[in-house]
Structure 1
Amino acid sequence: SLPLDIDNMHMLLQEQEQIQKRTFTNWINAQLSKRKPPCAVLDLFSDLRDGSRLLDLLEVMSGQRMSREKGRGFFQERSNIETALSFLRRKSIKLVNIHIPDIIDGKPSIILGLVWTIILHFH
């Protein structure tokens, strides 16, 4: 086994993040395949940034329609993510350190934590 210096530790964490990313992407796509029309996530960290895929996922998981902003501007992205996070809070789901700018920035740890929270609640 390798000594756990900082470089090896960083490599292990990156590897773990990639495994989680792949696993969560597959889970999300299995859910989104049930949507009419079906849709998919190709890159977990970038595809959730505008909030629309996140709303799609929550619609499939909850069976409820979600209002959303049309268009591709910053305001629309921010509003869609706020709608998704507000929906989760109304379901009494604790969102620890999950903030709109972090999702817009595609921060891996935040996205992975958010998806894990959704999996735990809805599955």
Structure 2
Amino acid sequence: MASGSEGDDGGISLDIDDVHMLLQFQRRSPSYVSDLFSDLRDGSRLLDLLEVMSGQSMKRQRGRGVFQQRANVETALDFLKKKSIKLVNINIPDITDGRPSIILGLVWTIILRCHVSKTPDSFK
């Protein structure tokens, strides 16, 4: 759909690039991932990814403690489950421990659901 076009409900539809820019504008600094396995451990960047992919804002725990990390990862996994995305053998400790095979599987599942799916707005 073209950027800024009118949707079926009369609202303005945004493409993924527009949503990404809006989310970055709302937050003061964009998220960067230099090491996928360590950077997703706290759940914050995982929530950033899901916000960009879905266009929905997600609550997150501030802070760097174990409790906040686990809560953020749990929020992300719960969001995916609510969207009927199968998460086979993906648990909170797998992400917070930075297990490469689990994280790669999770990211691949998100990519398949959002970009390879035949239906538009897969996360909505």
TM-score past 0.5 threshold: yes
Identity of aligned residues (%): 73
Q: Which residue of 2 aligns with 1:107?
A: 99
Distance 2:96 2:50 in 1: 17
Which of 35, 40, 50 does residue 32 from structure 2 map onto? 40
Q: Which residue of 2 aligns with 1:116?
A: 108
Q: Which residue of 2 aligns with 1:6?
A: none
Aligned residues: 92
Which of 74, 82, 89 does residue 90 from structure 1 map onto? 82
Could you report, residue by residue, the CA deviation over 1:23-58 in whole angstroms, capped at 9, with x for unpaired residues?
xxxxxxx9xx64414221000000000000000000
- Report the CA distance between 1:110 and its aligned residue: 0.2
Query: Structure 1 residue runs of 4+, over 2 Å off?
Result: none
- Give the letter aligned to residue 76 of structure 2: A
Could you report, residue by residue, the CA deviation over 1:6-34 in whole angstroms, capped at 9, with x for unpaired residues?
xxxxxxxxxxxxxxxxxxxxxxxx9xx64
Q: Secondary structure at the match of 1:118?
A: helix
**Larger helix fraction of residues:** 1
Q: Secondary structure at the match of 1:85?
A: helix
- Give the letter aligned to residue 80 of structure 2: L
Q: Which runs of 5+ in 1 are unaligned?
A: 1-29
- Report the CA distance between 1:71 and its aligned residue: 0.3
Q: Which runs of 5+ in 2 are unaligned?
A: 1-16, 116-124
RMSD between aligned residues: 1.4
TM-score, normalised via structure 1 length: 0.71
Q: Which has the higher contact order (CA 8 A, sep 6+)?
A: 1
Distance 2:68 2:91 in 1: 16
